[in-house]
Amino acid sequence: MEALLATAIAVLTACGVFLILRARTFPVLLGLTLLSYAVNLFLFASGRLHLDAPPLIRAGASYTDPLPQALVLTAIVIGFGMTGYLAMLALRALAESGDDHVDAGKDS
Amino acid sequence: MRAHLPILPILIPFAAALLQMACTRLAWQRAIGLAATVLLLLACIWLTALSDDGLLRVYALGDWPAPYGIVLVVDRLAAMMTLLCAILGLATLLYASAGFDARGQHFHPLFQLQLVGLCGAFLTGDLFNLFVFFEVMLLASYTLLAHGGGLARTRAGISYVVLNLIGSALFLIALGLLYGTLGTLNLADMASRLAQPGHDAALARLAFALLIAVFALKAGLLPLSFWLPPTYGAAGAPVAALFAIMTKVGIVAILRVQAVALAPAMPDLLAGWLTTLALATVVFAALGALTADRLRALAAWLVLLSAGSLLLVPAAADERVVAAAIYYLLQSTLTGAAFFLVAGLIAVQRGDCGDDFRAGPPTTAWVKLAFLVVAASAAGLPPFAGFVGKLMLLTALRQTEAGTATWIVLLGAGFLVMAALARQGCILLWKPPLERTPQPAAAVTWQRATATLLLVAAAPLLAILAGPLSDYAQRTASQLQTPGAYVAGVLGPPTAATSNGARR
């Protein structure tokens, strides 16, 4: 379980970093999305992994830490808004300069 | 009312933003915005006056006690920074109300949300909450940066947004690591848990290093500072003036984390590398100032220069150095913002020539005088506040390990900046235009004039009030440098009932 999660985070981060380093806005956007998925999984794991346990404290029963879940929810909402805004900005740059490079129209 | 005062700097602009989104007429939005910012200023003055008694005011949101709930912590530094933010907000909003706000939609609600983010980031005592306020601040700043349109702004915006999104991802990883190792997100609780054994010290150290790297990105430390000059140079004059405080958010966050958590538990985390990088930032910014082709670009390099000078402080943090840094921070923020507004005025008066460094239509005498005052203060020339701030920083840093290097770099950078300002100022203000058709300078609206003069006046005023202000900075620094009181104030004595209000 831990190995699976760690591998997933590692692969997502690696792909994300690779895509962020591309020169065009769309791959960069995808890379940021993948990176934020990796970060969300990582945050989720910071409360340790429990199987079949509710995020509620009850006498005797095992429970999972509810706080990282709340943090992940916040991070997802914020990340979604940011990605949406970046997509708009990239489209505007494309419309204004006819070029989808990250530093669009620098030489023109 | 008094018990709920700490939340007011967040609530007032937030309520104003909601109201402004409800009534979309520009005149109404302006009125609401200005009224809210004046209210914010009053609340911040009250908060600063109250917090000068040295008590730590802890405001538990929803009355959930720390470390389970989120707390706002008001000490002198937090109160002073919200006051600075309110002054800057009022001046820039007044300037923007002269017509800049009509160049696109939703300027006013976004401006208020930016103030929410800034004030919240200074006040919060919880690191995840700090992340949330950072994001509020950044999201508003992304849209404010693009306000007014143009390819230069869009292009600067893309790299700014991408870089800050990566920064946010790193921030979250650091928070996840901290929560995983220490089991808390409250800064004071973290400090008290760091003092106890039983956590993975290496992992906690890594997490704090990541956290400092994220703050350094916001502050513009050298390898992470290439985004700053193009972004600030491309933004509209009032927006760039408000952004002058954004690098300071990163610096205050570093100072706070360093004082509360790092100094007791891992004092060697910042040693060595931070001072070197900060000196490199100062050199980079001074050389960059020579290359600027517009006044706003030059002002952006000066913002970076002041950020670099302030980043010399956390590694050498003792009380005297921090006190000098607080005075320097006050004056450099106000001077930097004034610089952007003066550049905006010059651009307005020169019409098509804008603030490019080439001959153009003349500007009126008082604008030239305002330029002289901010330029002298930014270069660190007497008798203005920039000189006093630099002198205080230099004398305080002399005894530290890198004292000699600091003196050489800061004085050399001051010389370069002076040369750049003198040369470009002559071209901008004195060189006659090529075609001999004397045009009268365009009239300046009273909003722009008042806002600019308000900030320009800070340069002589802060110099005149240097005595009381440096005493205040000294008190602020000594409060910041006693982390024990901070931790006890937030977490409270173990048995005491927790409630809102002041605790010793």
More confident residue, B492 or B156: B156
The H or E element spanning position B389 is: helix B385-397
Average pLDDT over residues B445-453: 89
Query: For residue A39, which residues of chain B lie inside 8 Å, CB to CB?
Result: 169, 172-173, 176
Query: For residue A86, which residues of chain B lie inside 8 Å, CB to CB?
Result: 158, 161-162, 165
How many whole angstroms separate alpha carbon B162 and alpha carbon B168?
10
How high is the pLDDT of residue A105?
58
Q: Are B135 and A78 in contact (CB under 8 A)?
A: yes
How high is the pLDDT of residue B297?
92
Query: For residue B177, which residues of chain A lie inside 8 Å, CB to CB?
Result: 46
Query: For residue A83, which residues of chain B lie inside 8 Å, CB to CB?
Result: 165
* Tens-digit pLDDT profile for residues A63-78: 888 888 889 999 999 9
CB B151 to CB A82 under 8 A? no
How many whole angstroms separate alpha carbon B294 and alpha carbon B271?
37
Q: Closest residue of A to B182, CA-based? A: A46
Residue B465, pLDDT > 80, answer yes
Average pLDDT over residues B399-407: 86
Query: For residue A17, which residues of chain B lie inside 8 Å, CB to CB?
Result: none
How high is the pLDDT of residue B136?
93
How far from chain centre, in Å, is Cα B335?
Answer: 12
Local structure of B178: helix, strand or coil: helix
Average pLDDT over residues B440-446: 77
Residue B500, pLDDT > 50, answer no
Query: Token match 């509620």: residue?
Result: A56
Residue B19, pLDDT > 90, answer yes
Binned at pLDDT 50, 70 and 90, residue B267 comes out as confident
* A interface test, pick of B130, B139, B151 with most A CB neighbours within 10 Å: B151
Residue A34, pLDDT > 80, answer yes
What is the dihedral sign for C-alpha B395, B400, B406, B408? positive
Query: For residue B185, which residues of chain A lie inside 8 Å, CB to CB?
Result: 67
Neighbouring CB atoms inside 10 A of B498's CB total 18
Mean pLDDT of chain A: 87
Q: Is the ipTM of this complex over 0.85?
A: yes
Buried b / exposed e over B322-357, threshold 16 CB at 10 Å, is: bbbbbbbbbbbbbbbbbbbbbbbbbbbbbeebbbbb
Query: For residue A79, which residues of chain B lie inside 8 Å, CB to CB?
Result: 165, 168
Binned at pLDDT 50, 70 and 90, residue B270 comes out as confident
Residue B151, pLDDT > 70, answer yes
Domains and CATH numbers, chain A: 2-50+63-97 (1.10.287)
Residue A108, pLDDT > 60, answer no
Average pLDDT over residues B116-140: 93
Q: Are A26 and A100 in contact (CB under 8 A)?
A: yes
How high is the pLDDT of residue A23?
86
How high is the pLDDT of residue B496?
41
Binned at pLDDT 50, 70 and 90, residue A48 comes out as confident
Q: What pTM was computed for the model?
A: 0.92
CB A97 to CB B166 under 8 A? no
How high is the pLDDT of residue B493?
65
* Tens-digit pLDDT profile for residues A76-100: 999 888 999 999 989 988 888 888 8
The H or E element spanning position B161 is: helix B151-182
CB B162 to CB A28 under 8 A? yes
How high is the pLDDT of residue B69?
85
Ranges of H-type helices in B220-310: 228-234, 237-243, 246-257, 263-265, 273-291, 295-310
Q: In this prediction, what percent of chain B has a pLDDT beyond 90?
A: 62
How many whole angstroms separate alpha carbon B144 and alpha carbon B111?
7
Nearest to B261 by CA among B333, B156, B187: B187
Mean pLDDT of chain B: 89
Residue B334, pLDDT > 90, answer yes
Q: Which of A38, A79, A97 sits opposite B151 (nearest CB)?
A: A97
How many whole angstroms separate alpha carbon B186 and alpha carbon B188?
6
Q: Which of A67, A75, A89 sits opposite B146 (nearest CB)?
A: A89
Average pLDDT over residues B382-411: 90
Query: Token match 């190995």: residue?
Result: A3
Q: Which of A20, A71, A106 sits opposite B128 (nearest CB)?
A: A71
How high is the pLDDT of residue B439?
66
Binned at pLDDT 50, 70 and 90, residue B501 comes out as very low
Binned at pLDDT 50, 70 and 90, residue B327 comes out as very high
Residue B498, pLDDT > 50, answer no
Residue B428, pLDDT > 60, answer yes
Binned at pLDDT 50, 70 and 90, residue A104 comes out as low
* A interface test, pick of B126, B139, B172, B189 with most A CB neighbours within 10 Å: B172
CA distance B69 to chain A (A): 11
Token pair belonging to B279? 């000196």
CB B143 to CB A85 under 8 A? yes
Residue A8, pLDDT > 70, answer yes
Residue B483, pLDDT > 90, answer no
Bond into B264 cis (ω within 30):
no
CB A43 to CB B143 under 8 A? no
* Tens-digit pLDDT profile for residues B216-261: 999 999 889 999 999 999 998 999 999 999 999 999 999 999 999 9
Query: For residue B155, which residues of chain A lie inside 8 Å, CB to CB?
Result: 93, 97, 103-106
Residue B418, pLDDT > 50, answer yes
Token pair belonging to B325? 């840094």
How high is the pLDDT of residue B502?
41
How far from chain centre, in Å, is Cα B381?
Answer: 22
DSSP-derived letter for residue B361 is: S
CB A36 to CB B169 under 8 A? yes
How high is the pLDDT of residue B217?
94
Alpha carbons within 13 A on the beta-carbon side of B163 = 23
Q: In this prediction, what percent of chain B has a pLDDT beyond 70?
A: 96
Task: Provide the number of CB pairs (under 8 Å) joining chain A to chain B.
Answer: 94
Q: Closest residue of B to A48, CA-based? A: B180
How many whole angstroms separate alpha carbon B325 and alpha carbon B331?
10
Q: Which of B146, B151, B172 sits opposite A105 (nearest CB)?
A: B151
More confident residue, B438 or B214: B214
